[in-house]
Structure 1
């Protein structure tokens, strides 16, 4: 099995208030053939950016726009895993075998921003984060942006994201 290394450093604006924590980027299937838009959550079927377009009520067509909007609202993005192998040809968390955690980078973020609210995109991420950082108390589980999580439709997910991301966060 081939070891994959995370291609992106965590995105952390200076005014970080909320840290969205995912697992690991999807396989190379992306939203765009534009290499400049192959960033966090760029797997074609992932609903993350569609959800955030509804939350912020504006299109987020490229990495530059996405990072500007996230920075404006003090929202960062990081993934719990640094290196993985895939047990199947799948992006599902349960099909990832952990080689290395991204604990050094995340630990550095938590030291710099000890009161940041960490928002998990899955129970898998929540479980691993809490095992690595049991002392961090400010966290919440978001609805999964995976289309496989069909209990909520896109509008319902966006409404919950909006409520969670802006609870206690200055607009």
Structure 2
């Protein structure tokens, strides 16, 4: 992640997808920990990987390395990226996001047969609606955030809601 003198932070983590991806999960913008770790949902208290392992698990261990995480996503036909390409942000706080430049989802949507778009949290959903819905012409589903800031939602509640959204027709 690069940060200029004007406070703009550039998203430098490439999307994860291939031609077999069917579900696209969008976050808002990588947290400080994810930017440092150079991969999605890198904060140890973010429950994203626990939730997806529980949703798809079937006894699989939770992926730990970046390569394991990429392989897990692709094996389960899941694409991951973020709504924002660059913005001004203080730390990891979605509430401080301003001067948004959205990502272009067309490389994913033209390569893969994405059947549903899921947004990880209210901010990702609101940003998708504002900046990308018109471009994609597709509805997105708002899911509860896996962020540690969403303490009101238990792991079991998150898993149930995410599983229902992923496997619903």
For the superposition of Structure 1 and Structure 2, which TM-score range results when normalised by the shorter chain? 0.7 to 0.9
The answer as to 2:86 corresponding to 1:79 is no
CA RMSD of aligned residues (A): 2.2
How many residues align? The count is: 158
User: TM-score when scaled to structure 1?
Assistant: 0.80
1:125-136 correspondence runs (5 A): 125-131=124-130, 132-134=132-134, 136=137
SS of residue matched to 2:25? strand
Contact 2:122/2:143 (<8 A) preserved: no
Unmatched segments (≥5 aa) in structure 2: 1-5
Give the Cα separation in 1 of the matches to 2:65 and 2:43: 14
User: TM-score when scaled to structure 2?
Assistant: 0.81
CA deviation after TM superposition for structure 1 residue 154, in Å: 1.1
Runs of 4+ more than 3 Å apart: 111-115
Higher mean C-alpha deviation, range 51-60 or range 74-83 = 51-60
CA deviation after TM superposition for structure 1 residue 98, in Å: 3.0
CA deviation after TM superposition for structure 1 residue 140, in Å: 1.0
CA deviation after TM superposition for structure 1 residue 128, in Å: 2.2
Give the Cα separation in 2 of the matches to 1:113 and 1:38: 24
The answer as to 2:60 corresponding to 1:55 is no
Give the Cα separation in 2 of the matches to 1:123 and 1:136: 19
The answer as to 2:63 corresponding to 1:64 is no
- Which residue does the alignment assign to 1:164? 165
